[in-house]
Each structure stands twice: as structure tokens, then as C-alpha cells.
Amino acid sequence: MTPRPGSKGGTEGMVVAWVLMAALFSVSWFVNRERTLEAARLAWSLFREVLPMFVIVLVFTSLSLGLISEEVLLELLVGRGLLVGSITGAVAGSIAAIPSSVAFPLSAILLDKSVPYTVIAAFTTTLMMVGVVTFPLEREYLGFRAALVRNLAGLAMALVVSVAIGCFFGELP
């Protein structure tokens, strides 16, 4: 199967998101100025609480991405078969803490490198739905059991999606 060309950067989507956010904030401001300011203060307070953990996660993720060469990555994702590649992609996605604005262009790059759809699906779905690195933060806000159940359910759903994608694209029987 020939990979399709990767998409261009997601700047258009980000511009739309920012414009939509500004428009909705403006509507909220005109409807009830006090509640809007209260919500903005609360959001800022929560952001300040989460920021240190978020920075630590970004630093570790950046270091790990910088230390793994492209050749090693491709060998792990493609060179050892579909099952090993999918498991590797799922583990990497579960551990990494990459925002979707980076993950999906990265997936397009992997697709251009002939990484199978099944592997990319395992990577991106676990990336969005499982958070090994962010587990301590989730545990703090959700509690241990809820964070564990959320992550295990996310992993199970990600694996189902990966198999479905593999079947859809003819990579699995």
C-alpha cells in the first residue's frame, strides 16, 4: 500500500480554534461579565497549579524524542513486524505526552516513512487516551482508582481502534 502524502502543518486549525475561543469568550463577557471573570480567574489558578507538572512532562518528552534516532524508531515500528510495531507504538504513545497539534503531523511523517496504519493508529490513539507520564497528575485530581480505570479503558479502546484500522486498510486479516 502506498502511503498518502503528509498533511501540512495545523496552523489553520489553530487559527480557527483561537478565533472560536475569542468569539465564545466575547459572547460570555456580554452575557455575564462577572461570571466570565470568575471563570477566567479559576482557569488561571488551575493553569498555575498544573504548569509545573506540565513543564516536567514536556521536558522529559522532548528529551526522549531527541535521544531516539529516526533509524531506531523506524526499526522498532516497521522492521520487526506489525505486531511488534503496534505494541511499540502503543507503548510509546502511552508514555509520550505530546499535544495533538504535534502528534498528528508526526503521524503524517511516520506515514510518509511507510509505517503501517495499524502502528500509527496504536500510537496516536494511546497518545490521546493513555497517560503514563501524566498519571501522577491525574491521580492527584481524579484519585488513584479513577485514573487507573480511565487509563486502562483508554488502552483497551486504543487497541480496538488499532485493530479496526488495520482491518479497514487491509493490513490485518
Cα 119–Cα 125–Cα 130 angle in degrees, nearest 5: 120
What's the confidence (pLDDT) of residue 91? Answer: 86
Segments making up each domain of the chain, as ranges = 51-168
CB 110, CB 77: distance < 8 Å:
yes
Q: Is the dihedral of CA 75, 76, 78, 80 positive or negative?
A: positive
Q: Are 129 and 135 in contact (CB under 8 A)?
A: no
Contact 118, 171 (CB under 8 A): yes
pTM exceeds 0.85: no
CA distance 133 to 94: 8
- Each residue's pLDDT, cut to its tens digit, for the chain (173 residues) gives 344 444 444 577 778 889 999 999 999 999 999 999 999 999 999 888 878 877 776 676 667 667 766 677 777 777 777 888 888 888 888 887 677 767 777 788 888 888 899 999 998 999 888 888 888 888 888 899 999 999 999 999 999 999 999 999 888 87
Other Cβ atoms within 10 Å of 166 Cβ, number? 20
CB 137 within 8 A of CB 170: no
